[in-house]
Amino acid sequence: MLNAIDKKVLKEVADLEGMPKGAYNIRKNGKLEGREVSANINIETNEKGDGIIIDIKPGTKDESVHIPVILSQAGLHDVVYNTFIIGEGSDVTIVAGCGIHCGGNASEGHSGIHEFQIKAGAKVKYVEKHIAIGEGSGKRILNPTTKVFMEENAQAQMELTQIGGVDEAKRVNEATIGAGSVLLITERVMTEKEQSAESRNEITLAGTDSKTNIVSRSVIKGSSSQDFYVNLTAKAKCYGHIECDAIIMDNGINQTIPALRALHPDAELTHEASIGKIANDQLMKLMSLGLDYDQAVNRIIQGFLR
């Protein structure tokens, strides 16, 4: 049964007011809380029992799967291995995410290892939100890993967000992009206080005319720190772009380390990075419209992370 806290967490990570429509799998404190399959989308526990397999039939259109995780048990460090098989020519949305509610002083953590097999011509939008709330003093740890294998002419859009409250995050994204396929990754991470987040991205443009655009947006408040790594390797005629923007507030620190490896003569790789405080003229403009300093800063941060 979902209690009031669970419902709050579900709302935050998956924008759900109750049980979702269509296929879903809700995991709470390491156990299955509810599951629904559809005619085209099957969900079953994997052989080892340490995760689920989401199997989407070829040609499935305009369907969605929700697989949120709720963690509210002090001391629990949940690890889950999920596999998504996204059938040829399908067009689906997957909403994942993990919400931690910490009520005590023991740490809580979740590591979700998500593997995507995206078949030829398939199109998938993957939305993953991470948040931690609660009055407890225990550390909240979230370590998501996504491994993406794209066949030909597939499209994947990954929206990866860590909204706040997470004390430690080790984020890993790996992808191999086949011929004619396009991968868009947008990662937004906000840290504050003494929090730290690390994001490691290992992306290979493997097939002819493969494309990727990797966008990282970081807001680093308090004394928090964020490190962002991308290793973008081009092995074919391809196009890849990386864009890293970090706003440093208070005493935040940031390291941004992209590697562009053009191992094919027809590779085209570009990168832009910008690390710094909020531009003063932006602040002044908003304050001249009647916002006070904090409101103006908040408005800019919200816009930046949207």
Work out which of 172, 273, 287, 291 binds its own copies, going by CB under 8 A: 273
Binding its own copies by CB under 8 A: which of 252, 286, 296, 297? 252
The answer to whether 249 contacts its own copies (rule: CB under 8 A) is: yes
Q: How many residues bind its own copies (CB under 8 A)?
A: 31
Closest to its own copies by CB, 140 vs 217, is: 217
Query: Is 235 in a helix, a strand, or coil?
Result: coil
Other CB atoms within a 10 A radius of the CB of residue 280 amount to 8
Work out whether 215 is an interface residue with its own copies (CB under 8 A): no
- Of residues 263 and 284, the one with the C-beta less far from its own copies: 263
Verify binding: residue 259, its own copies, rule CB under 8 A: yes
- Least separation in angstroms between CB 256 and its own copies: 5
301: contact with its own copies by CB under 8 A: no
Closest approach, Cβ 287 to its own copies, in A, equals 20
Which residues does 290 contact at the CB level (< 8 Å), separation at least 6?
none
Cα 9 to chain centroid, rounded: 16
Our separate counts of H helices and E strands in the chain read: 3, 21
CA-closest candidate to residue 97, choices 45, 27, 156? 27
Q: Which of 205, 267, 297, 300 touches its own copies by CB under 8 A?
A: 267
**Closer CB to its own copies, 157 or 231, in the complex:** 231
Q: How far apart are CA 219 and CA 190, in angstroms?
A: 5
From CA 181, how far away is CA 150, in angstroms rounded? 7
Binding of its own copies by 270 (CB under 8 A):
yes
Nearest distance from C-beta of residue 190 to its own copies, angstroms: 16
Q: Does 198 bind its own copies (CB under 8 A)?
A: no
Torsion 7-12-17-19 (CA) sign? negative
Rounded Cα distance, 203 and 268, in Å: 14
Q: Which is nearer to its own copies, 76 or 249 (CB)?
A: 249
Closest distance of CB 169 from its own copies, Å: 19
Rounded Cα distance, 113 and 263, in Å: 29
Q: What are phi and psi of 55, to 5 degrees?
A: -115, 115
Minimum distance of its own copies from residue 25's CB (angstroms): 40
Please give the residue ranges that form the binding site for its own copies (CB under 8 A): 246, 248-277
